[in-house]
Amino acid sequence: MLIKYNCNSGKLFIKKDMRFKIHSILWIIAILAYTGPVRAEKIDALRSTVQPELEKELAAHDLKLGQPIFIRVFKQEKIAEVWVQETGKKTYNIFKRYPICVFSGTLGPKLRQGDNQAPEGFYDVTAERLHPDSKYHLAFNLGYPNSFDRMRGRTGDFLMIHGGCTSQGCYAMTDQGMEELYILAEAALANGQKKIEVHLFPFIMTRKNLVFHGRSTWMPFWKSLKPAYDLFQKTRIPPKISVQDGRYRVDLP
C-alpha cells in the first residue's frame, strides 16, 4: 500500500495494490478520525483570538465580517488584495493588502503537474475547498485546473493559498496573514456567499508593466486577463468570468 501525503491540502491519499493489509487501513482511518477534534479546536482558537481584532478593523472601514469578499493576487508585487462588499451595495471596498512571502516558479501560468509553477487566471474558493488542517497552517484550494486550463490539457491539483511562508507550486502567506484571510473566507461562505472569486494576475495590469514585459511569450495570455482587471477597476464589482470558444469572457455580473 502506498500512502501519499499532499503537502498543500494536508490530506492523506491511498493507492492500493494486492499486498495491502487490513491493519494499515484501520491505522489510517484512526488518524483521519483523530484530526476532527484537533481541527475544531484550532479554528475555535482562531475565532477567539483573531476574529475580535478583525471585526474592529472591518468596522473602521464600515464593513462587517461575513459580507462577501473578493481576492486579487499580483505575483510580481507579492500582494494579495482582499475586497469586501459594502453594506447594502453591489460595490466592493478594499479592506487589506496582505504580503505574499513567496510564490512558486516565475511569471506565467501553471502548465503541468510538477512544474512548481503557481497558477494565473480566474479561480474560486468554495466551503469544500477550505483546509484548516493543512500542513502549512491554513489553506484554501483555488480549484486549479479550471475549465480554461482543462481545455489546454493543463494538469495539476491542490494548488493553494496557504500559510507557512514556503511553497511548492502555491502562494505562501505569513501565518498571521493567512489566519485573517481564512477567517474572512470562512465567514463569508458561512453567511451565504456561494464561492469567492480569486483573480491571479502576473502583475498589476498597468500599461507600464505591460510594456516592460512586452516581449514575454505569455503576453497574449496576460492580455486576455486584463479586461477583468480593467472592469473591476472601473466598477468595483467582481466581473462575471466564463470560457467561450476556448477564451476567457468577461462580462458585467
Angle, to 10 degrees, between the axis of helix 175-190 and the axis of helix 22-49? Answer: 90
From the candidates 7, 131, 137, 170, give the one annotated as an active-site residue.
170
From the candidates 162, 165, 199, 213, give the one annotated as an active-site residue.
162
Active site residue 137: no
SS (H, E, C) the chain: CEEEECCCCCCEEEECCCCCCHHHHHHHHHHHHHHHHHHHHHHHHHHHHCHHHHHHHHHHCCCCCCCCEEEEEECCCCEEEEEEECCCCCCEEEEEEEEEEEECCCCCCCCCCCCCCCCCEEEEECHHHEECCCCCCCEEECCCCCHHHHHCCCCCCCCEEECCCCCCCCEEECHHHHHHHHHHHHHHHHCCCCCEEEEEECCCCCHHHHHHCCCCCCHHHHHHHHHHHHHHHHHCCCCEEEEECCEEEEECC
Active site residue 162: yes
The residues annotated as belonging to the active site are 162, 170
